[in-house]
Structure 1
Amino acid sequence: MSQTAASELDQATLRQAYGTFPSGVVAIAARIGDVPVGLAASSFVSVSLDPPLVAVCIQNTSSTWPKFRDAAHIGISVLGEAHDVAARSLAAKTGDRFAGLTLETTPDGAIFIDGASSWLDTTIEQELPAGDHAIVLLRVHGLEVHSDVAPIVFQGSRFRKLVVEQH
């Protein structure tokens, strides 16, 4: 095993190391005015059951995230294994991020992606600076679980499917 010294760390090496950890992928979406706004994130984590809180990490350079600060509610959709194309569209810098997707919108403006493993209706609780990202803490106001939909996994810069072991 060769170890990289702290003085030798660069973004490519860090990205490679961080990429060994598999994570789910979420769509973050809301209606801002009359326009659906969305992005994809693989840095989603549950934080607290009481109160119900989740968090995502958003790059400081995101031109999409600032639009969410005006959202009454934000929808978090845990993307299913059939959403590999959707995850790439939602992560794109240009074009229609919602092309080909069926959306459901709440009266408060949270947008959910059809075919997701779960939906969380959230509001921004707090935003904390964290290096080149912000940690966004979100309060969960409602949810819907679709336990028959397997989640998509992002690992090593690739989308993957979970394999269920048979016992």
Structure 2
Amino acid sequence: MSEPSDNADRLDQAPIDPQLFRAVLGNYASGVVVVTASDDGVPVGLTAQSFMSLSMDPPLVLFCPQRTSTSWPRIEKARHFAANILAEGQDALGLRFARSGIDKFEGVGWTPGPSGAPLLEDVLAHVDCTIEAVHEGGDHLIVVGRVLHLAAEKDLKPLVYFRSAFRVLGPGLS
């Protein structure tokens, strides 16, 4: 392996402006999920845009909750979660689960998945998992889940997060 150049060393030491970081990375569109779990029979959930597949064999996914999340410790305690992938028009659901201090499940239809995690009604897809590993990642955590069960609704379009706002796919895109 070659040694880093002097230029790389200087860049490594340069601070990155947080607002610039957010603005630039906001150009990467992502889906939106509501991560849910059952903590001693009580449903808990949070909204995340950092969700993706990790491995086909074994089937693994990951999501990244903020360290300051009040919902994450309850999900971690449950040792399972469901990633409910939101569909077009579910902006309010995404915003609801992003808030603290409210009953996020009031008026929200759901059924328990194989792990016991709530599977929300009318979402694009859900991925039910057990927690495989948790890694540190700056001001977030990297949670790896082993997939137990998954299903998708083929006739829906995804809710997309782009440049700090919810978006939908344009005509002709699906």
TM-score in same-fold range (> 0.5): yes
Q: 1-side partners of 2:15 and 2:44: how far apart?
A: 38
Q: Does 1:111 align with 2:118?
A: yes
Deviation, 1:72, is 4.7
Distance, in Å, in 1 between the alignment partners of 2:13 and 2:165 is 27
| Equivalent residues in 2 for 1:122-133, closer than 5 Å | 122-133=129-140
- The equivalent of 1:25 in structure 2 is 32
2:76 is the counterpart of 1:69: yes
- Residue 155 of structure 1 and its aligned partner are, at CA, apart by 0.6
SS of structure 1 residue aligned to 2:128: strand
Which of 67, 70, 77 does residue 60 from structure 1 map onto?
67
Contact 2:129/2:149 (8 A) holds in 1 = yes
Ranges in structure 2 where 5+ consecutive residues have no aligned partner: 1-11
Q: Distance in 1 between matches of 2:159 and 2:145?
A: 22
1:153 pairs with one of 154, 157, 160: 160
Counterpart-to-counterpart distance in 1, 2:115 and 2:141: 24
Cα distance per residue 1:139-166 (max 9 Å; x no partner): 1011111111111000111100112427
| Matched position secondary structure for 1:14 | helix
Larger radius of gyration: 2
Q: CA deviation at 1:94?
A: 2.1
8 Å CA contact 1:71–1:109 kept in 2: the answer is no
- For structure 1, the residue ranges without an aligned partner over 5 or more in a row are none
More helix by share: 2
Q: What is the alpha-carbon distance in structure 2 between the residues aligned to residue 150 and residue 90 of structure 1?
A: 20
Partner of 1:80: 87
Alpha-carbon distance change, 164 to 47 in structure 1, aligned in 2, over 3 angstroms: farther
- C-alpha contact 1:89 1:99 (8 A) present in aligned 2: no
Is the CA contact (8 Å cut-off) linking 1:115 and 1:149 kept in structure 2?
no
Tell me, yes or no, if the aligned pair for 1:89 and 1:96 is still in contact at 8 Å: no
2:126 is the alignment partner of 1:142? no
TM-score by length of 2: 0.86
Alpha-carbon distance in 1 for matches of 2:171, 2:60:
28
Does residue 1:12 correspond to 2:19, yes or no? yes
* Structure 2 match to 1:91: 98
Q: 1:150 and 1:6 mapped to 2: Cα distance?
A: 42
